Amino acid sequence: MKSKAYETALAKIRAICLALPEAKEVEAWGHPTFRAGKKMFAGFGEDADGLSLGMKMSFDRQEELLQDKRFYPTPYAARQGWVSLRLSRKTNWDEVAALLLEAYRQVALKRMLTALGDL
């Protein structure tokens, strides 16, 4: 049984991610992950330090985000541009939505970006 904080955060992340064209949720490594087609752009999890959200970023953006103490290199995936954000009661969900959209754009196919209105 997951905590109320976990369920609440996951519901918010799901709402943001699954509103994106062709996005789907797939469980991997015991965690909910979100994909644009076959490519993962976000993963949600909980560990001893609390709730976190991993996201695929460009290397420049990863470097920029890691200057902020709320972010840390995603274990096993940082070398591919992934960065994780610690979630808390103070989490700004508008900021999270913008970051998730940025992550989605990293992996989405041209037709998905067109559906999003980017092209």
Over the stretch 103-112, which tens digit does the pLDDT of each residue have?
A: 999 999 999 9
Beta carbons of 85 and 55 less than 8 angstroms apart:
yes
- State the pLDDT at residue 118: 65
Which residue, among 91, 95, 93, 119, has the nearest Cα to 105 in the 3D structure?
119
Q: pLDDT value at position 11?
A: 97
From 76, 55, 75, select the one nearest 64 (Cα to Cα).
55
- Mean pLDDT per block of 10 residues along the chain (119 residues) reads 92 98 95 96 93 97 97 94 96 97 96 86
| Per-residue pLDDT tens digits for 61-71 | 999 999 999 99
Q: Hey, what are 30's tokens?
A: 């015991």
Tell me the C-alpha distance between 71 and 85, whole Å. 5
Pairing of strands 31-36, 23-28: antiparallel
Instruction: Return the domain boundaries, the chain.
Output: 4-116
Q: How many residues does the chain have?
A: 119
Question: What's the confidence (pLDDT) of residue 87?
Answer: 97
Specify the fold of 4-116: Aspartate Aminotransferase, domain 1 (3.90.1150)
Cβ count within 10 A of residue 92: 10
Confidence at residue 106, expressed as pLDDT on a 0 to 100 scale: 96
What distance in Å separates the CA atoms of residue 15 and residue 72, rounded to the nearest whole number? Answer: 24
